Amino acid sequence: MYDMKALYQAQSVADAVALRLAHPEAHIIAGGSDVLVQMREGKRAGVELISIYGLDELRGVSLEEDGAIRIGSLTSFSHITRDPIIQKYINVLGEAVNQVGGPQIRNIGTIGGNTCNGVTSADSSSTLHAWDAIVELTGPDGVRRQPIQEFYIRAGRVDIREGEIQTAILIPKESYENTFGHYIKYAMRNAMDIATLGTSVNVRLSADKKYVERARVAFGVAGPVPLRAATAEALAGGKPVSLELAEAFSQAVKADINPRDSWRAARDFRMHIAVESAKRAFIESVRLAGGAL
């Protein structure tokens, strides 16, 4: 059923790095919700696998000394959704990953696998972009951290270098403090489907809840990789909260996105969804932040 050449079980992060160096063609496997399906389809016939699933040090959510939220790369979607730190500070991420597949997939699938695939439709990707996530990678030269926008290189390709494995995703305190967000997934079905478009918005309001101090918006499937709409973000900053601003904000996203035609949806339809979902997510984010429209 599964045509593989060899399976290596990493005993530690250092061991995983050593195995990566010794077997550079081998594929990392964690939960296996993507890799095993692809193998069964014959797409990775004769592959070598390095399993990191037993590395419990890469599981869980915690707060760093500087206040950053640390999410271990092997943390499952179900764990993220239920985690009290996520629920308190960045509940939108838990809501986003709770829309991945069905319960079985969410119990086994990991945040690391979801990002390392490099696909623009990943339900975690737009929210992580909108919250300025930082990807931590560990390799033969130690720990390397980079903004998630730089981690995605092109469709299906991420910046994982020789011998490296992804060990965590971090959300800086400055990105989540006093900030509230909302994620909208548009898909052909209500469950067990890949996003036709994913939209994640978050806002930080002034103390009196009358002005937008900062707004962020990111999309999945609006380009070859997840992306931010900087024009809309710049437009909203410092403006008074209003329905007119929500409309202008949503229209401005068109300057930075470039969705494609596919069998799932035409480009023009995706553009329409992007504008409408940006507006709705902005309005809901303002409401969650205590503002009134």
> Alpha-carbon distance 36 to 167, whole Å?
21
- Picking from 98-107, 198-207, 275-284, which range would have the lowest pLDDT averaged per residue? 98-107
Cα dihedral across residues 43, 225, 74, 183: positive or negative: negative
pLDDT tens per residue across span 119-167: 888 889 999 999 999 999 999 999 999 999 999 999 989 999 999 999 9
Residues 6+ away with beta carbon under 8 Å from 210: 240, 241, 291
Residues 6+ away with beta carbon under 8 Å from 272: none
Question: Could you tell me the pLDDT band of residue 19, with boundaries at 50, 70 and 90?
Answer: very high
| pLDDT reported for residue 262 | 86
Q: For the chain, what is the mean pLDDT? A: 93
Joined tokens for residue 196: 């036709």
Question: Could you tell me the pLDDT band of residue 192, with boundaries at 50, 70 and 90?
Answer: low
Question: CA nearest 146: which of 155, 128, 165, 159?
Answer: 159
Cβ neighbours, 10 Å, residue 73: 26
Q: What is the DSSP string of 178-191?
A: T-EEEEEEE-SSSS
Distances (CA, A) of 205 to 16, 286, 290: 44, 8, 8
